[in-house]
A and B are shown apart, each in its own frame.
Chain A
Amino acid sequence: ETGVTQTPRHLVMGMTNKKSLKCEQHLGHNAMYWYKQSAKKPLELMFVYSLEERVENNSVPSRFSPECPNSSHLFLHLHTLQPEDSALYLCASSVGGLNSPLHFGNGTRLTVT
């Protein structure tokens, strides 16, 4: 149990579908993150929320839409994705502060067909 739970673990969707990834943290952290992990590439930071406000948006296409309704929950809404969006999507949380390590969930393996 990592303290950060992601659902679903696996998702296959067509390019015209709409789906959402969910992340929940039980650690009392106040910052949450979405990362994209593709093979042989560095982890790509997508979004950062601190105290439920988005503080970082790294030029992510609008087909990815984050939502942070409270400090424990983070969503990533997906629509009209492309096959190159297939990857492992990782959620993480931290207590905030530059020297705080991130606590990751086990990820959602997304396949876009």
Chain B
Amino acid sequence: AQSVAQPEDQVNVAEGNPLTVKCTYSVSGNPYLFWYVQYPNRGLQFLLKYITGDNLVKGSYGFEAEFNKSQTSFHLKKPSALVSDSALYFCAVRDAGANNLFFGTGTRLTVIP
């Protein structure tokens, strides 16, 4: 069975500091991993994905994520946070043999000026 865990409901970080939003997953086969961001009153926007290849994936708005197979993690990172990064972030996983995309419960990121 597939599942995604985002252990932190809320992450606060000071503007200019590095940020990390955590995600761990469980799949039976090779994972397809995604990060999405949701701003208030909007739908989810795709940030980046890992399918295969380099463990460090770069995405939109300066975000990147590191795939760690041994720890079954796919943490989202950014070297220097902006106030405009404040939003709700969702990790999602799809098993290579499955049709459905499973989402985590989301992590609310607040960047403090």
- Hey, which bits of chain A sit against chain B, CB under 8 A? 2, 4, 6, 40-43, 45, 48, 55-56, 58, 90, 92, 98-99, 101-107
Contact = CB atoms under 8 A, between A and B. Distances in A.
B104 A98 contact: no
A42 B4 contact: yes
B34 A101 contact: yes
Contact of A99 (B36, B41, B51, B103): B51
**Which of A6, A58, A102 has the most CB atoms of chain B within a 10 A radius of its CB?**
A102
8 contacts: A40-B9, A41-B105, A42-B105, A45-B100, A45-B101, A92-B44, A99-B51, A102-B44
B49 A101 contact: yes
A4 B42 CA distance: 11
A55 B104 CA distance: 22
A73 B103 CA distance: 24
Contacts, number: 53
Prevailing SS type, chain A contact patch: loop
B94 interface: yes
A104 B49 contact: no
Contact of B44 (A90, A98, A99): A90
Nearest to B46: A101
B99 A107 contact: no
3 shortest interchain CB distances as A-B pairs: A104-B43, A101-B46, A43-B103
Interface string B20-47: 0000000000001010100001111110
B41 A106 contact: yes
